[in-house]
Every structure is written in C-alpha cells, then in structure tokens.
Structure 1
C-alpha cells in the first residue's frame, strides 16, 4: 500500500465528486436503513457488561494494565503499537465499543495495517477512530513515515471562499483514513473561532463567521461521507469563544443560550440538518445556560435539553477525552464516567482508568444509580451507528 497512490486516487475521485457532491437535502450520513427489530434483538441478547463495553472508546493503553500513568502525555514514551497479550487478556472481561489511535500509536504503514487488523478482532467488535482533521491535528499525515498530503489548516482552506475546496480536502483525508481501516474521523471542528486569544481551536476552525463555518462544516461531512468515513461535529456547545484550554483545566464561556444560538449553534445546526451521526462535547462550562459550573460533558441541560431537545439531535453523543484536565482536576475517574452517562453521553472517550470506570458503571446499574434502560438507549444508538458503517 503506497500512500502517494492513495492520495492520487482520492484526488482524482474528489475532482469528480466536486461537481456532483451531495446537497444538504440528500446527504446520506444520517440515513439508517437499519431494522429496529434486529437492534432490539441484539440488545436483548447482550449481557450488562457487553452493553456497558459498547459505551467506551479507549486508548490502546487502557487495555494494558501493566502501564501505570496519571497524565496522557506520559503515554508517548511507551509507544504502544500492537495488541499485546495483556491487552487481549483484559479485553476478555472488558469488551470495548471502540478504540482511538494517537500519533504515538502509529509508526508506519505496515505497523498501522497490522495493528488495525488485530484491533478489529477484539471483544466488542470495536470501531476504530482517529483525530485526522487536517492541519496541526492529523495523527497520520503529520508523521514523517507517511507520504500523505498535509494541510496548513482548515481556516486556510476555507479562505478561498469555495466550499468545494473543503470537500476535496475532507474526501482526500477520508480516503486514506478509510484505506487504513478506520471507521470514524473525529472531525470536522464545528467551532466558530471568535476569540483571537483562543489557544486550542484557532485555525482548526473554518472561520470566525458562523454562516461561513456552517457551509464548510457541511462540505467536510460530505467529503468524509463520500469516502465512507463517519465524521464528528466538535466541540459542542462551542469551544471557539474561550481562551483557556480544557486539556489543562476548568474553562467556561460567559455567553447566554440566546447568544450561542446566534453564533456557536449555527454550524452545529447545519451539521445536524445535513445528517451528522456523531457530535463530540466540549468540557467547557456554560453557567449562563445551565445555572452551574458543570462541564458540558456532564450537564443534562446541555446534552438533553439543548442538544437533543431543542436542536433535535438523534445520533451518538461522544465525550471529549475524559482524561483531560477539565475533568480529572475536579472529578474522580469513576464518578466522571457515571455523571457523563447520567447527563446523556453515549460514548465515554478515553477515561483515565478504563477498567475502574467500566466497573463503576456496571455497579451503578446494579445499584440502581443508572437505569439499565438508560444504558440500552445509548447502545441502541451505537449499534445503529455500527450497522450504518457496515453498509
């Protein structure tokens, strides 16, 4: 497999798709075609542990309990790049719904292909995800061992004013991501970059104008969809107007919901209308919306009242990484996982200690803190997503 060939094929195909790409009304990313009876039958046959496992997407290191760490930056030195015996043994009792790979998990083409193939055999039939936005967040393309196109940023691409440029980039990215065996790209960034002091979003966003960002977000989703990759709108309810970084600690927006509807919600609403299947939360607090300082990932107001209720989103809600400072600095690993699910999260991404979080969620169900029907709601959405991906 030669990446230069992958890119060339993607580029040629993209040129054709640009002229006939889907409109918002016929975009297929949200279509199901799944018989609800088959999903209900599958849920009925699953044990509680199997169902809970579907609600976790984890780092490879989460299954290697011989690795002891307190901050994700420590994992780089381990360079875990294959499924080892410890991971396989732990996975027998701890099924997973998905796995996400980071730059340090990826060495070169042959290693990645081998790793992905083995991951796909793990207990739980895991989906495989990656952060491959284009620009500074590109776990594969930014490796010197891959001959793939590199982009300055999504902001730079969007400056042309032609949404088809974004479509072409997304299709190219989606094509090589698909070729390597991934199912989900945690992109596009749907934030509106309105704060010049923002250190975490910046040019990862398409624009500081909500209407422009909305058009580009839809085109990015279309590009991924044409490459048979599921995209993800992030970071709800909008990370573009803050200046602090949720990777390191507490972050809040002082906007009201009415203010957010005029700006932050515009790209998300457009993406939802276009059929987005996944939305990722931000760990930012929105006290003028919720009346408290809970991160949005743990807020029923943000997830249930606003995202599901007012915006009508019916797909999968995935948390931003739960090992980030905005969560671990103020909430225990187990408590955070429980609170996220109670708030409405479908997939708990990268808990600090997966095994402990998994056990805590199972016990919460057994103790009645979480209704099993609540677990079933999320599993139903996740199985629907998996069926869509198989098509």
Structure 2
C-alpha cells in the first residue's frame, strides 16, 4: 500500500522560521487529511505499537501470536497505527545494522497509507537501542557533569541525523527527570542532574538538537519524559506503581522546570509516567490516567498543546487498577493523545472505537488528538519524507571525533587525596577489575594501546570471596590498579573488593561507571566518576588517568553517604 503524503511547501516559499509557522503552513492540508479518515483510521493514529522481526516482510511467530498476521508490514496494514517503535531485545528483535533498520523503516512506511512516526529509545548512555557503528555518546548525567549545553545540543543533533538516515523520525528522548532520589532504580544517570536548573538547561539544549529546523527532514521529534517527573521514586514503574509524595508547590519547584524548558524549546511530544502523586491527584490514579496531572498540570498550567504520549501500556505501573481494555479510554479522557504499546492492540483499538460509538468519548475529542499527531508529523517532515537511504551514513570519523571530545569533558575527579593521578609515568603493567565484563575489557584495551601489559579481571556486581582474593593476588603483580564500580553503595561485596585492593598497597584508582553515589561509600583516596560505561567513556577515562586530558566534569547531583559531596564538587590537577 503506498503511503499518502502531503505536498511540501512551494520551492519559492520561504520556510517558516519557527515551529508555529511551520504548523500553520500545514493546517489546511492536515485538516483535509483528517476529513478523509474513517473513525477506525483516526483511532489507529492514536496508537504506537511494537512489531516483531527485522524485515517488514519477514514472517515472525511473534506477529502471528500478538496480532494475528505473519509480518510487521501486515501489522501496519491491518491496524493502521500512527507509529511503530523499535527495540533491540529478544522480545521484538528489530535492530541489527543501519542498512537493515533503514530497509525495515521503508518497508513499514510502504505498508501505511498515512506515514508512520517510527520511534526508538536512543537516549544514549544506559538506554541505547542502536549501538555501533552508530555514533555513541555518554548519557545524560555525563552531559550534566560536563555542564556544556552546546555539547548536549550537538550530541542530540548528530543522534537525530543518524536516526533519520535509518528512517527513524521520533526519539523517545530526552529524559527530563530531575534525579532527586539517590535510590531511584530506573532513572539515575538517565537524568542530567539533581538540580532543576541544570536539568532544564540540558533538556532544552537536546530538544533543539534533536528537532533542528522545522521541515528540514534531518531532525527527529523529541520526547521529553517522564511527566510529571520520575526522579523521586524508589520503585520501578516497569514492575510496580511508585508513589511520589510531592505537593504541587514542591513539584513546581523541582520537577516542572525541565518540562517548562522543553515546552519553551518547542518539544514535539511529552511522555507520561506511570507514577502516583496523591497530593496532587488524591484518586490514586497513575499520572498517565490522571486528568489533574495531564490536563491540569501539563495542558493548562504549563500550556502545552503538543502530543502527549503514554509510557508503555504493558508496564505494571499502569495496569494495577484497571483492565487493559479500559486503560486507553481512561488515558484519552485524562488528556493523552498517543497510546504506546498496549498489551493487546486489537482490544485497545476496539475499546476506543466502542467508547466513541457508545458516547463515552466524542469523535471531536479523537479529532483533537489526531490533529496533534498529524501536526507533529507535518512539522517534522514525516509526511513528506523520501525513503531512508539504503546505505545510511552513520558513525563517520568526524562525528566519532565530536563524540570523543564531548566524553572527554565529562569525567569527574571526586578525590585525588594521594596524588596518584595523573600517572607520573606510563605503567608497564595494569590491572582493570571490578564491575562489567565488557567494560573492564574495553578499559584494559585502552591501557594496552598505551603500552601497558593490561589484564582485565571482571568480578561482577556481587563478587565472591574467591573473586576478591583472585583480584587482590593479581593486583600484587601490577603497577597500577583500576577498579570499576556500579551500585557499590548497595553492594557490600563491591566495597569489600575495593578495601582488599587498597590493602595491597598498590596505587588504586576507583571509578564509578554509572551512578556517582558510589564514591561516598569507601575510603579509596582516588575516585573518578564517568557516569557512563560505554567505550567512548572508557577512552576518556584512560586519557584522564594518563594525563592526556584533565578531568573537566563537576558532580551534577548531591552525593549523600558516609563521605558526602555536594552538587558541583570536583578536584583537578
């Protein structure tokens, strides 16, 4: 089925300078498109679904099981969704190579009468769906440590260009949460900062970078998430319904600021959180289904008239109080526009259609959301885009160099009490141990490239006594020891590993490669934080250790604990 498209602006017309101007340019065409849609087609535009497989025409048993058809293209043709989301896990398995992704995108677009919003979660850092050869950047908290809004914007711009080259036109990023709870199990380094102002500055910068100029077809729709703010939770909404006991005044002072900044920057879409805020909505409904939150706070107080999309409707946080068939209708009543990944797409679509025909929802209400979706598609050039390239240009040398330079500005030195860093001479031998098999190996390779006989000895998240003893023995034969930690503050065995390595008397460099909260929980005199364990950050770490670059980052959060550190702390040399 050929995709419909709207005519692009005449070549002689000057492109509008802002998003509002671009939206006005497409109003008549969008309205005409809406008038030609049946109720079922309109409702379809409100859904973003997953599909199974790496090719549009590939028969996959998951599609048969979940949708009653064989291929991803048939899912699109049958249900006529407004969007499709890609994943790189075994459940959906959409991602292999850039060329494969581009071909999948083109195949799905051919199956859709109205062009799709094709999305993924390419936040960078710990939530990265598409790995190398696509250009990789450190995640949000690393960018917050670097304090450079221009770096955040450039990272988003490059990410957007590469996504668009693969036919992906919406990114479920940036994460606009303020990570104010160190025990947060699901946000953490996905947040830029625990400081609302810094988080707001970086959020706005990345919105600008992702979206670029209206109608250029090089940017993607950004999605600020997770409204009204998931940063103060101690539970994961994938598996539970977290409660945030903020008053409206506290929310305005902390969580609202990055979303205000995103809206001011013209963000195309905002994703809701499956969290309960009883002091704002005493009903106990998750924010996704809460009219006081979605309509009251987001629409009315913050004045947002763009697309509001739910987080996945398959998550436990939204499914605890209502049957799956009721959830899409309740979300639309709350003020949401798009419904992401319902458990059963047919049941979800039918429930919305039935709600309109039964008078529970009006078709005018459906039209309101469809217009927002179509406006977003027009604004970002989705309705007039040519097919993705068969050979997408990603990971080019110039972009990789930019990513490395950005990462180099994020490493933060928290302690250097013994003056171990920078190394005064290149070590002949080095041990890299601790958390992360891939990460320890990547750093050891960077040491080896600098002439050291480097050994990688991963010990995992909870090292055994035998692993600790083995690491201490290996340390005795090394001139320098680097121990990588991840969630050490919650892992006594990792703390014991660091203590045993220090007891060898060897120079030990401890590095928190995810949340920086680890640094307050041992007496290691030398502590660095990278906020990211990707290869680009491990190269930056090696450069700092060897004195090739100076640590330029500053803590973007308060670090509580036995040895606390304030927001903004850093040491240098």
Which TM-score band applies after superposition, normalised by the shorter structure? Answer: 0.7 to 0.9
Aligned pair partner of 2:162 in 151, 176, 180: 176
Q: Where is the helix percentage greater, Structure 1 or Structure 2? A: 1
- The match for 2:65 is 67
2:349 aligns to what SS in structure 1?
helix
Residues in 2 aligned to 1:36 and 1:30: alpha-carbon distance in whole angstroms: 10
CA contact (8 A) 2:73 2:107 kept: no
Match of 2:563 in 1: none
Looking at both structures, which has the greater relative contact order when contacts are Cα pairs under 8 Å and sequence separation is at least 6?
1
Structure 2 counterparts to residues 124-273 of structure 1, below 5 A = 124-141=114-131, 146-226=132-212, 227-273=218-264
Tell me the distance in 1 between the aligned counterparts of 2:35 and 2:196: 43
What is the match of residue 283 of structure 1?
274
Q: Structure 2: where are the runs of 5+ without partners?
A: 1-16, 54-59, 213-217, 385-573
Aligned length: 348
Does residue 1:101 correspond to 2:86, yes or no?
yes
Tell me the equivalent position of 2:366: 375
> Does the alignment pair 1:120 with 2:109?
yes
Q: Deviations over 1:64-92 (max 9, x none)?
A: 652259xxxxxxxxxxxxxx844444544
For the structure 1 residues 91 and 229, does the alpha-carbon distance in structure 2 shift closer, same or farther, using more than 3 Å as the test?
A: closer
Aligned to 1:319: 310
Among 354, 370, 374, the residue aligned to 1:363: 354
Match of 1:337 among 304, 324, 328: 328
* CA deviation vs aligned residue, 1:13-70 (integer Å, no higher than 9, x gap): xxxxxxxxxxxxx86589523343332222222100010000001001499652259x
Provide the rounded CA distance (Å) in 2 between the counterparts of 1:162 and 1:56.
36
Alpha carbons 2:99, 2:166 under 8 Å: kept:
no
Q: What are the superposed Cα offsets for residues 317-340 of structure 1, whole Å, 9 maximum, x if unpaired?
A: 000010001123332211111111
TM-score with structure 2 setting the length? 0.58
Shift, 1:181, TM fit = 1.0
1:56 to 28, 47, 50: 47
Q: Aligned with 1:66: secondary structure?
A: helix
Question: TM-score, normalised on structure 1?
Answer: 0.84
- Name the CA distance, whole Å, in 2 between partners of 1:383 and 1:371: 19
Q: CA deviation at 1:148?
A: 2.8
From the superposition, tell whether residues 65 and 102 of structure 1 become closer, same or farther in structure 2 (CA, over 3 Å). closer
In the aligned structure 2, how far is the partner of 1:334 from the partner of 1:34?
37
CA RMSD of aligned residues (A): 2.0
In the aligned structure 2, how far is the partner of 1:276 from the partner of 1:31?
Answer: 14
Note closer, same or farther for the CA distance 1:89–1:215 as it changes in structure 2 (3 Å cut).
closer
**Structure holding more strand per residue:** 2
SS at match of 2:123: coil
Displacement after TM superposition at 1:380 (Å): 0.9
Asked if structure 1 preserves the Cα contact closer than 8 Å seen for 2:179 and 2:194, the reply is yes
Q: Secondary structure at the match of 1:133?
A: strand
Conservation of the 8 A alpha-carbon contact between 1:27 and 1:222 = no
Residues 210-269 of structure 1, C-alpha deviations (whole Å, 9 max, x = no match): 000100001111111234111111000000011101000111100011100001001111
Structure with larger Rg: 2
Q: Which runs of 4+ in 1 moved over 3 A?
A: 26-31, 61-65, 84-93
Determine helix, strand or coil for the equivalent of 1:125. coil
Counterpart Cα distance in 2 of 1:230 and 1:204: 19
Separation in 2, partners of 1:355, 1:344: 22
Aligned to 1:42: 33
Structure 1 residues 89 and 179 mapped into 2: Cα distance closer, same or farther (>3 Å)?
A: closer
* Deviates most, 55-64 or 240-249: 55-64
The 3 A distance-change label for structure 1 pair 167 and 261 is: same
Counterparts of 1:150 and 1:352, CA distance in 2: 31
